[in-house]
Structure 1
Amino acid sequence: MDQTSAAKGRAPAVPLSGLERSTLRELLIHGPKSRAEIARELGMSRASLTRVTRALIEQGLVADGPVKLRGATGRPSEVLRIRPEGRQFLGVKLTGDRLYAVVTDLAAQALVEYDEPLTSRSVEDAVAQIGGVCERLSAEYPGIEGAGIGLAGDVVSKGDRQIVLESPFLGWSEVPLADLVGERLGLRAAAENDVRALTAAEHWFGVGAGYESMVLIAIGSGIGVGIVVDGKVVTGANGRAGNLEHLPVDPSGPRCERGHRGCLVSYLANAAIVGALRAPGLDYAGVVELARGGDPAARQAFRDAGHALGVLVATLANTMNPEKIVITGDGIAVTELARDEFDAAIAAGRQPGEAPIALDIQPFEFSEWARAGAVLAIRDFLRF
């Protein structure tokens, strides 16, 4: 196997035990804690906790923090904290024409960001290009522990393998992407649907941290929905959980490319908003600019999109009853330009007297997709 410099010349990491991974997860997600708090949360004996914390400290993954007052007794306790610099991870996002990459620390903070055109959509070329990017980035960050790749499409686990069943943007089907990238890099690698990866990133390191249930809606070129139930990201039997692009909104509405009339994607996707104006040469940014300037057709396109988004939010709130709903993506302008229609559609779809939805609208940078890939690698490192 031709390993890249990311894996050459360094001793293999000592595998973490189950208790070590659980302790590390607890500190990653919930922040610094005393040894007593960790033992109580994980049901560990004092002797077991001593062995676990010693091993994690020796591997450079955790460190003793400052003494703080903990609990109702107000007793001072020395807390344990994550050492973010203890490990580094490569995150990759593939689109139909571009590769985005990032190296993060253990706390998913980006250390470097990089992107370049995708040289080819063939599986072999894409894997080779990921390898080349890893080689360049590992020259500056030689301690990369693992890699995660996010892409649009259906990704499922078959045994211990992660298979891209279908990725229309890349023209792939039945591709064991994680295995191929792992072999090329000489590192552990994970692959996942990009929206589920972004959901996992928000759940562990973003506005969803600490919640047992949440929903993430990503709006842009498509409409993606990620779901967390009982602290776990839901995948579904065929990697298609949250596939709601064709949720009916208005039976007399426009047809989508698959022939459905008035479905969610026919109103809310960026291309649908642009298409509603029927103006050659216009792009999404141009429609946003027109709408902000008061153009009637542009404003109407966003009003229709805002209504559709409200229908989706109400549907998810009613069916999933999550603690939080996060909305993000490069189509986020709809929440600004059609907030009244958005709020009205939510209200119309909810039972009177229902508790308000905990809604979080997050600004979006495209590099977040690559960072979500790094979170895949972090979760794989912790075998979560």
Structure 2
Amino acid sequence: MSDHREVAPPEPGAAWPALTDATRAALREILVHGVLSRAEIARSLGLSRASLTRAVRTLQEYRFVTEVGTGLRGVTGRPSELLRASSGAWEFLGIKLTADRLYAAVTDLGGRVLALHEEAVSDTGPQALVRQVTEVVRVLRAASPAICALGVSVPGDVVTRGGVSVVEVSQFLGWRDVPLSGLLETATGLVTYASNDVDALTAKEHWIGAGAGVRSMALVTVGTGVGFGLVTNGEVSEGAHGRFGRVGHLPVYGGGPDCGVGHHGCVSSYLPSSIIARNAGAVDEGYDEVVERARTGEPRALQALRDAGTALGALLSTVVTLVDPESIVLTGDGLPVYDIARAEVDEAFRRGLRPYEAAVTVVVQPFEFSEWARAAAVLAIRRSLRS
């Protein structure tokens, strides 16, 4: 006797349904790999034919996946039904917060971007910023009523307490102990997940970005700050206290300038954009102006970029030495360091690894803040899958 039951198609913006472990696992395989046959899913997850049939039927009834024809897959050479994530029924909103800008992205279930939005942040106080995010959510949900969850990424330490994502500290936003996901759920009515921004970007790059398909990957971001994310055994490392990846204060020189918190000669004494500007003597200029001066060969600006390049190379070699990843993804709005000071980066990288050769690929990912917002939407997708 069949246990099949008809499931009503989800209404726009419906709550994420309860799914069995096998059904969630099958959906995750499709989301990560894009298009898969039933046989490939069963083989990857070790599911019986009956279990897979039930899982796929549920995914189709809830409009999580759709058939996209047949193809020759596997060693048998026989045509097989192909499945991919659906568009239209389930959408997600991701928001990346900085000290002066808010970036938003609406994606479908597969992480494909459907809409982008950005605006200035005038007040970083928690209540004011929650109100601003709530208004952005209202406007975007009016245009995309299928949004079912919200992901928010912030520069800071984020931990989970009693099911609520709490920003323990964010120096860039001036926050301490802000229960962000709880405040936004109350204000917007959407299930909300919050995360450190580098952790969210690491997960996105591993799932649907430059690190897709690898079991181990490191992410290094350079710009306003220096960030580090890590994937091992296919999972993002988050640490026990929301403080994973604090590589900005690794020492790279003996002595050297003060980084601003009392360290001398650490990564943050040379690599953050504002520090590069300071080291270049740019009293009334920003990072972009220093980069232009360096490109014209102006000695002090060029030296500041070269010192930053040495710090970056030392950081990359330390990452390889400690975690031995398959690849390192390098991104951020400070990427001109890698471009202008490539010789210094490469030399410090090789020097840090001697006597070993680097069996790792460094992938430079062009920087767009919209990708950080997309990463926050993918955070909502991933967390929904755990529900």
* Length-normalised TM-score, structure 1: 0.94
Over the matched positions of the two proteins, sequence identity in percent amounts to 49
Quick one: structure 1 residues 340 and 104, their matched pair in 2 at CA, closer, same or farther if it must change by over 3 Å?
A: same
Find 1:208's aligned residue among 202, 206, 211.
211
Give the aligned residue type for 1:380.
R
2:76 counterpart SS class: coil
2:227 counterpart SS class: strand
Quick one: structure 1 residues 68 and 299, their matched pair in 2 at CA, closer, same or farther if it must change by over 3 Å?
A: same
Give the deviation of 1:128 after TM superposition. 1.9
Greater relative contact order (Cα 8 A, min sep 6): structure 1 or 2? Answer: 1
Could you tell me which residue of structure 2 aligns to residue 91 of structure 1?
94
Structure 2 residue 20 is matched with structure 1 residue 17: yes
Could you tell me which residue of structure 1 aligns to residue 84 of structure 2?
81
Structure 2 residue 34 is matched with structure 1 residue 31: yes
* Length-normalised TM-score, structure 2: 0.94
**Conservation of the 8 A alpha-carbon contact between 2:12 and 2:90:** no
Cα displacement string for residues 122-173 of structure 1 (whole angstroms, at most 9, x for unaligned residues):
2222222211111111111011010000011101123422211111122211
Aligned pairs for 1:137-176 within 5 A: 137-176=140-179
Could you tell me which residue of structure 1 aligns to residue 193 of structure 2?
190
**Conservation of the 8 A alpha-carbon contact between 1:156 and 1:235:** no
Could you tell me which residue of structure 1 aligns to residue 5 of structure 2?
none
2:368 counterpart SS class: coil
Q: Distance in 2 between matches of 1:128 and 1:143?
A: 22
1:86 counterpart SS class: coil
Structure 1 runs of 4+ off > 6 angstroms? none
Could you tell me which residue of structure 1 aligns to residue 223 of structure 2?
220
Find 1:230's aligned residue among 228, 233, 248.
233
Find 1:289's aligned residue among 288, 292, 296.
292
- Let me know the Cα RMSD of the aligned residues: 1.7
Could you tell me which residue of structure 2 aligns to residue 4 of structure 1?
none
Aligned pairs for 1:57-68 within 5 A: 57-68=60-71
Q: Distance in 2 between matches of 1:245 and 1:351?
A: 22
Q: Distance in 2 between matches of 1:327 and 1:11?
A: 37
Give the aligned residue type for 1:145.
C
Quick one: structure 1 residues 11 and 80, their matched pair in 2 at CA, closer, same or farther if it must change by over 3 Å?
A: closer
Give the aligned residue type for 2:213.
G
Could you tell me which residue of structure 2 aligns to residue 114 of structure 1?
117
Give the deviation of 1:112 after TM superposition. 1.4
Give the deviation of 1:11 after TM superposition. 4.8
Quick one: structure 1 residues 11 and 147, their matched pair in 2 at CA, closer, same or farther if it must change by over 3 Å?
A: closer
Structure 1 stretch 306-315 or stretch 344-353: which is displaced more? 344-353
Give the aligned residue type for 1:279.
A
**Conservation of the 8 A alpha-carbon contact between 1:91 and 1:103:** yes
Give the deviation of 1:85 after TM superposition. 3.3
Q: Distance in 2 between matches of 1:12 and 1:323?
A: 37
Stretches of structure 1 that go unaligned for 5 or more consecutive residues are: 1-7
Give the deviation of 1:28 after TM superposition. 0.9
Could you tell me which residue of structure 1 aligns to residue 4 of structure 2?
none
Give the deviation of 1:13 after TM superposition. 4.3
Q: Distance in 2 between matches of 1:69 and 1:221?
A: 48
Quick one: structure 1 residues 10 and 162, their matched pair in 2 at CA, closer, same or farther if it must change by over 3 Å?
A: closer
1:382 counterpart SS class: helix
**Conservation of the 8 A alpha-carbon contact between 2:13 and 2:148:** no
Give the aligned residue type for 2:236.
V
Structure 2 residue 78 is matched with structure 1 residue 72: no
Give the aligned residue type for 1:80.
L
Give the deviation of 1:105 after TM superposition. 1.2
Find 1:371's aligned residue among 364, 371, 374.
374
Could you tell me which residue of structure 2 aligns to residue 3 of structure 1?
none
